[in-house]
Amino acid sequence: MIYCVVPEEMADELFEKLERYYADDPNVTVIIDRRKSARRAPGSSAGGKRTLRDRRRQRVAGDIPELANE
């Protein structure tokens, strides 16, 4: 599924045009973005349980062998 997101300020101008353009493509849905603020804005009270983790792989234990000089 592909969502074509139209900002609310431009909905009057673009929404119907984009719906007609993508009418034959069942994989595309045109929607209007009606959010008023970011959910993860600093100081917002929503959530609060989010933790940041280091998702990189752990290093392999041991030493790297010396390479033979030519």
Q: Give the pTM.
A: 0.53
What's the pLDDT score for residue 21?
96
Distinct helix (H) and strand (E) counts, the chain: 1, 2
What's the pLDDT score for residue 70?
65
Distance CA 8, CA 14 (A): 10
Lookup result for tokens 């994989």:
27
Q: Which residues of the chain have pLDDT under 70?
A: 38-48, 50, 70
What's the pLDDT score for residue 67?
81
What percent of the chain shows pLDDT beyond 90? 46
DSSP state of 31: E
